[in-house]
């Protein structure tokens, strides 16, 4: 019987029958296609239609709960506004306009938040908000004098490139540059051993001038440029730097292990010069070159076995890559930008042969987790954020416990007596990065607690979360005070540590955290401890070589300190006035202790001088995102 007349329908019709919308008996070939003499293409079983269940799924329930739970929504908005925010800045020049962005974990964003809470509604309208994050413009950066660092302006050396010396410094002077580099910055950019660098240095000075254009010589010049800068020879530093850049550009697309190492050194040079954006761009170029060379993969051996030379070359490749990995993670965290190296792309064994480099790599992995778990745009509650902060904090404590003795440093004030004040450069650099990562981990709790205290709306933060916020704020304060004390103690006994100009950046970040800790609750007892530590940080600045960056940091921290002290004095005066107004008359005085609400310590009169009501100061929806008519 013909299938078209059978009255039977198969669930798997062939393609021709399906297209002509006729009945098919489902055989191969089907009767209709066989009768017509056409190719029968078997049909494919269609999926059953997905029917929406009457009972919402678990995900839908969670979405409904979010929509129906104003507390969760309010907390997510608070995290978006106070933690997942960025800062934008633009600067016009004769040729173009520079637009720069720094992310949530950057010091620039934290400085802008400090400016907002310190100056209140008297500050300019300085933020815009979209559906994903808050973006600040850079009013505080210019007001506190940090525009030069934000945009990475050139150094104060006005001498033109044509006027710079094209000769190398004398052997003795260059040897001084090299040795100072090897005792300090070498531990921050560790890509080969000291003996290799000394050998390359002597080879360059013993070669003919015509043979001083090799990649090895260019690498040595980059090292000498950094050594000249920290030795306070800016003209030599700039001259050597320009020659290195010129040679690197002349190589074009040719990449090698040396070109990766030179790009790493240029990043360190920019960082020491106070050009963080240029440092990040150099790191990006170094990473792309490293991938092109294949440093993220183990080098195959020739003939199945490796001789000593091949093993040394492989070890230098691995050391270079892991040093680049740690440097990339540190710079990306400090600027709030994504790291360039993904852990999933790496197929190289960990640098277990070097305890200092292994610790830097472990810290880099923690900073990557911090960047995404804390500062990433993950929807959640304040309790979730506090839990993640605690997990990373505990992971850092475990890392410190696992450090070998030659890399350990005092973790708290109680441990200062257990360690010699004469810390090595490797220990000091690791301590700086360790405490910087810890402070950045805990900083969101400072900001959230400040926002909670300032808000005039009904609090949606649970008492448990408030306790966690206060605990994290205390740990952030202790870490900031401790790193200042460790550096001050070390620099008094080790003269070479004063040449580590990176310390300015870390001490400055600790001072900002201490200032914000005061601003979040200026009426509390114990602010003097913060002020004493900040004064000691400023004293550390006087022990460093004076330059443009140090002047910016000293002036910026000093000005914010003065404003913060004024805020504390005003808050305490308001508190005393409130207590006096609440005291009973002499007839009713019975000797009982009379308390007052600490939450009301910032009375209405605090901002009377600006003519602004207290209700409007900390109402985020009014102050931050309402445009002037």
The predicted-structure confidence for 218-277, as pLDDT tens digits, reads as follows 999 999 999 999 888 989 999 999 999 999 988 888 899 999 999 999 999 998 888 888
What is residue 444's predicted lDDT score, i.e. its pLDDT?
92
Q: Are 11 and 27 contacting, i.e. CB atoms less than 8 angstroms apart? A: no
Using alpha carbons only, give the angle 120, 121, 127 rounded to the nearest 5 degrees.
100
| Chain position carrying tokens 């908000």 | 129
Residue in 475, 615, 493, 564 with CA at minimum distance from that of residue 114:
564
Lowest mean pLDDT among 96-100, 126-130, 355-359, 575-579: 126-130
Share of the chain above pLDDT 70, in %: 73
The predicted-structure confidence for 576-626, as pLDDT tens digits, reads as follows 776 666 655 444 434 443 333 433 333 344 334 333 333 333 333 333 333
The predicted-structure confidence for 554-574, as pLDDT tens digits, reads as follows 999 999 999 999 999 988 888
Residue in 235, 227, 236, 219 with CA at minimum distance from that of residue 179:
227
Please report which helix (H) or strand (E) contains residue 86, including its range: strand 85-92
The predicted-structure confidence for 366-379, as pLDDT tens digits, reads as follows 998 998 888 886 66
The predicted-structure confidence for 412-427, as pLDDT tens digits, reads as follows 888 877 776 678 888 8
Q: Tokens for 331?
A: 């710079």
Q: Are 231 and 219 contacting, i.e. CB atoms less than 8 angstroms apart? A: no
Question: What separation in angstroms does the CA of 486 have from each of 219, 424, 506, 544?
Answer: 33, 12, 12, 15
The DSSP symbol for 51 reads: P
What is residue 46's predicted lDDT score, i.e. its pLDDT?
52
Q: Tokens for 573?
A: 């005066």
Residue 350: CB atoms within 10 Å: 12
Lowest mean pLDDT among 137-141, 153-157, 513-517, 575-579: 153-157
What is residue 613's predicted lDDT score, i.e. its pLDDT?
39
């Amino acid at each position: 019987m013909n299938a078209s007349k059978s009255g039977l329908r198969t669930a798997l019709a062939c393609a021709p029958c399906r297209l002509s919308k006729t009945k098919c008996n489902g055989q191969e070939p089907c009767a209709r296609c066989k009768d017509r003499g056409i190719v029968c293409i078997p049909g494919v079983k269609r999926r059953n239609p997905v029917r929406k269940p009457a009972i919402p799924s678990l995900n839908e329930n969670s979405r409904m709960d979010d929509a129906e739970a104003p507390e969760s929504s309010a907390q997510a908005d608070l995290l978006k506004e106070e933690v997942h925010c960025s800062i934008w800045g633009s600067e016009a020049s004769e040729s173009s306009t520079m637009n720069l962005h720094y992310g949530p974990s950057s010091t620039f964003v934290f400085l802008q938040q400090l400016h907002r809470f310190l100056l209140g509604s008297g500050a300019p309208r300085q933020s815009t908000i979209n559906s994903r994050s808050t973006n600040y413009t850079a009013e505080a950066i210019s007001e506190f004098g940090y525009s030069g660092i934000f945009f990475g302006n050139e150094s104060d050396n006005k001498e033109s490139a044509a006027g710079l010396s094209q000769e190398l410094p004398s052997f003795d002077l260059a040897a001084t540059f090299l040795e100072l580099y090897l005792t300090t910055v070498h531990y921050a950019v560790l890509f080969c051993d000291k003996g290799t660098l000394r050998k390359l240095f002597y080879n360059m000075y013993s070669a003919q001038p015509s043979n001083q254009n090799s990649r090895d010589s260019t690498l040595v010049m980059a090292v000498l440029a950094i050594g000249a800068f920290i030795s306070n020879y800016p003209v030599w530093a700039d001259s050597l730097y320009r020659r290195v850049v010129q040679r690197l550009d002349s190589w074009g697309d040719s990449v090698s292990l040396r070109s990766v190492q030179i790009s790493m050194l240029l990043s360190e040079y920019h960082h020491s010069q106070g050009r963080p954006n240029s440092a990040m761009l150099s790191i990006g170029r170094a990473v792309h070159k490293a991938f092109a060379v294949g440093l993220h993969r183990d080098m195959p051996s020739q003939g199945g076995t490796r001789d000593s030379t091949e093993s040394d070359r492989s070890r230098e490749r691995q050391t270079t890559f892991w040093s680049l990995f740690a440097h990339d993670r540190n710079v990306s965290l400090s600027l709030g930008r994504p790291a360039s190296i993904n852990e999933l792309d790496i197929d190289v064994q960990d640098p277990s042969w070097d305890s200092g480099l292994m610790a830097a790599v472990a810290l880099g992995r923690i900073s990557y987790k911090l960047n995404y778990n804390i500062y990433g745009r993950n929807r959640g509650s304040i309790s979730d954020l506090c839990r993640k902060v605690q997990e990373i904090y505990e992971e850092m404590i475990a890392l410190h416990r696992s450090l070998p003795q030659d890399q350990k440093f005092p973790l708290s004030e109680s441990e200062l007596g257990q360690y010699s004040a004469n810390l090595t450069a490797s220990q000091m650099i690791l301590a700086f990065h360790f405490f910087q990562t810890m402070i950045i981990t805990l900083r969101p709790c400072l900001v959230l607690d400040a926002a909670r205290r300032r808000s005039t709306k009904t609090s949606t933060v649970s008492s448990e979360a408030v306790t966690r916020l206060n605990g994290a704020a205390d740990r952030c304060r202790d870490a900031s005070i401790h790193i200042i004390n460790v550096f001050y103690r070390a620099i008094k006994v080790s003269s070479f540590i004063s040449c580590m100009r990176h310390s300015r950046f870390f001490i400055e970040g600790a001072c900002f955290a201490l200032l914000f800790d005061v601003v979040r609750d200026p009426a509390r007892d114990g602010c003097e401890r913060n002020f004493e530590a900040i004064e000691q940080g400023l004293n550390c600045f006087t022990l460093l070589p004076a330059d443009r960056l140090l002047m910016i940091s000293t002036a910026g921290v000093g000005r914010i300190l003065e404003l913060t002290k004024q805020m504390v004095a005003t808050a305490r005066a308001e508190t005393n006035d409130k207590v006096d107004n609440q005291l009973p008359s002499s007839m009713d005085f019975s000797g009982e202790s009379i308390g007052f609400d600490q939450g009301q310590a910032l009375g209405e009169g605090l901002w009377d001088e600006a003519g602004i009501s207290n209700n409007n100061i900390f109402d985020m929806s009014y102050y931050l995102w309402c445009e002037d008519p």
